[in-house]
Amino acid sequence: MKYLLIALIAALLFIPFLGAVHLFDWDEINFAEAAREMIVTNNYSQVQIDFQPFWEKPPLFIWLQVLSMQLFGINDFAARFPNAIIGVITLVSLFAIGKKLVNERLGLWWALVYAGSWLPHFYFKSGIIDPTFNLFIFLAIYFAYTIPHSKSALRQAAISGIFLGLAVLTKGPVAILVALLAFLVYFISRKGKTGIGFGHLGMIALLACFTTLLWFGYEILAHGWWFVNEFIAYQIRLLTTEDAGHGGPFFYHWVVLLVGCFPASAFLFTWLGSKKSIYTYGRGTEVKDFTRWMWVLFWVVLILFSLVKTKIVHYSSLCYFPLTFLAAYKVFQLSEGRQQLKGWNNALILIIGLLLGIAIAVLPLVGVYKDLLIPYIGDKFAVANLQASVPWSVFESAYGIGYIILIIISCVLLARKQVTKGLLCLFISTILVIQVTVLHFVPKIEAYSQRAAIEFFESFQGKDVYVKALSYHSYAQHYYTRQQPPANKNYYNEDWLLNGQVDKPTYFICRITDSEPYRQHPNLELIGEKNGFVFFKRR
């Protein structure tokens, strides 16, 4: 009964209003467009963007989006629906694992801590690939952990291999890299006494290869090695070079996890000074071993993607699983009276919570008083973005003020030893504010950042035209125009679109910061500009 209840609550949290705001460029639109092009071309084996081979990602998540679009139509809701279902499966899985490790209370806390933390919750409302990838690789590691604790070790190894293969089919060989590094670090930390033998490792490798070859093998047999070669070369390039506009310092992901995974991240520090007696719950030895695995996974992912040159927020999102378990286990101990929350830790919760609450409270004020801020902004594109007509009221700051009040109440309750009430107030209030943010604030932010461009693209749906973004990279012109396969291959030549004998009406978009050369171009007619985007038509 509890499994069904958790599933229903998760569905209510993650599914409603998925299509309330446009998909965001790049990643959300990228995957949705790949799914749309599969449907248009009936080519389900190769990923395409702009009806050309796209070897950056394997197809599994895109297949899920295809199924969703077949069910709901080609729209933003359908693009995000698979991750909402993954969110339901994730919370049910966390409850089941927590229950098996210790009891139902740990399982419930883990599900609440995950759903009640900002980025872990928010990602299930997105159309990006990572929530699905993260679940598969986490389950692969979980079933590997169960091998020495199970009477059916080979079966557990086989399941681990299947999930590892699914992770590869979702995001690529980075899954194998993470799994191998995690096992190597675990092996060293246990001085080789892992309880996982060569036979088990062979079974994991065998099933992982079999699962992966369901696509890689077919692709090689059907189309040769070139697509797979390009795919692997891209994965290596991504890890070793900095993607344009996505660099950052070594500690980038440390800050992302500390703030983005609040409140769970604050409880990670309660492990400082912990004693061995913390493993007296449930199956003590197994809990200790699982905790070791979670620490290993956390540090492997965090350090690996701190070293990787390209810094994108969701690269460290696999940390959400170990981070929320480690936090939930401490939350469980606090609620059971087995551990006391130290004053400095309560202060950390208060500080981060207040910063987030202040940010939410200030956001409407920025919208209301943007004219006072614009003179101090040096970015011409950002200034033009702020010209968007977005209705704001100072009273909307009440959402942030309300969150601040709830954070203070939570900390007061924790300080007064009313621990369970304080914890429930902290995580449930965060869930509520996340819902408000997604429904109320995200559409307004999208209105500034990209809506003018999206509306321009949408105006060409059903029309036989060319639409091209100039001097900036976007997938939106393909998805929101519902582009069809171009019959004339000259379409892929930008110079031909600008200067050649085009065979259909041709439109262009660029950012205001890049617009001057195009305003002077003899073949282009300026037809409008809005909120930082400039629109042209071929004469």
Co-location of 192 and 235 in the same domain:
yes
State the total domains in the chain. Answer: 3
Tell me the CA distances in angstroms from 327 to 156, 216, 265, 271, 322, one per residue in order.
Answer: 26, 38, 7, 9, 8
Decide if pLDDT at 261 tops 70: yes
Tokens 């997105």 locate to 126
Domain that includes residue 232, residue range: 2-335
Co-location of 367 and 307 in the same domain:
no
Co-location of 322 and 438 in the same domain:
no
Co-location of 405 and 469 in the same domain:
no
335, 369, 399 - which closes a domain: 335
Q: Is 505 left (phi over 0), alpha (psi -120 to 50) or beta?
A: beta
96 contacts 88 by C-beta, under 8 angstroms: no
Tell whether omega for the bond before 26 is within 30 degrees of 0, i.e. cis.
Answer: yes
290 contacts 278 by C-beta, under 8 angstroms: no
Task: Write the pLDDT tens digit of every residue in 375-413.
Answer: 989 899 999 999 999 999 999 999 999 999 999 999 999
Model confidence at 55, in pLDDT bands (50, 70, 90)? confident
Mean pLDDT value across the chain: 93
Decide if pLDDT at 281 tops 70: no
Co-location of 260 and 232 in the same domain:
yes
Co-location of 370 and 290 in the same domain:
no
Co-location of 297 and 430 in the same domain:
no
Start-to-end CA distance of the chain, whole Å, equals 66
Co-location of 432 and 470 in the same domain:
no
Cβ contacts of 415 within 8 Å, gap of 6 or more: 343, 346
Classify strands 533-538 and 524-530 as parallel, antiparallel or unpaired. antiparallel
pTM: 0.94
Q: Nearest Cα to 498, choosing from 523, 466, 464? A: 523
What stretch of H or E contains 524? strand 524-530
Model confidence at 520, in pLDDT bands (50, 70, 90)? very high
What stretch of H or E contains 71? helix 60-72
Decide if pLDDT at 226 tops 80: no
Decide if pLDDT at 280 tops 70: no
Tell me the CA distances in angstroms from 233 to 282, 305, 419, one per residue in order.
Answer: 46, 18, 52
446, 464, 492 - which closes a domain: 446
- What is the 3-class SS of 365-427, one letter each residue? HHHHCHHHHHHHCCCHHHHHHCCCCCCCCHHHHHHHHHHHHHHHHHHHHHHCCCHHHHHHHHH
Co-location of 290 and 371 in the same domain:
no
Tell whether omega for the bond before 263 is within 30 degrees of 0, i.e. cis.
Answer: yes
SS3 221: helix
Q: Find the largest Cα–Cα distance for the chain.
A: 78
Residue 285 φ/ψ, nearest 5 degrees: -65, -40
Model confidence at 242, in pLDDT bands (50, 70, 90)? low
Co-location of 238 and 312 in the same domain:
yes
Task: Write the pLDDT tens digit of every residue in 315-349.
Answer: 999 999 999 999 999 999 999 988 889 999 999 99
Q: Which two tokens stand for residue 62?
A: 């895109």
DSSP for 443-458, written as a single string: HHHHHHHTHHHHHHHH
Co-location of 23 and 104 in the same domain:
yes
315, 335, 355 - which closes a domain: 335
Co-location of 287 and 226 in the same domain:
yes
Task: Write the pLDDT tens digit of every residue in 82-136.
Answer: 999 999 999 999 999 999 999 999 999 999 999 999 999 999 999 999 999 999 9
Model confidence at 277, in pLDDT bands (50, 70, 90)? low
Model confidence at 350, in pLDDT bands (50, 70, 90)? very high
Percent of the chain with pLDDT over 70: 96
Q: What pLDDT score does 275 carry? A: 66
Model confidence at 239, in pLDDT bands (50, 70, 90)? low
Q: Tell me the sheet residues that pair with 109.
A: none
Q: What pLDDT score does 529 carry? A: 95
* Count of beta carbons in the 10 Å neighbourhood of residue 156: 23
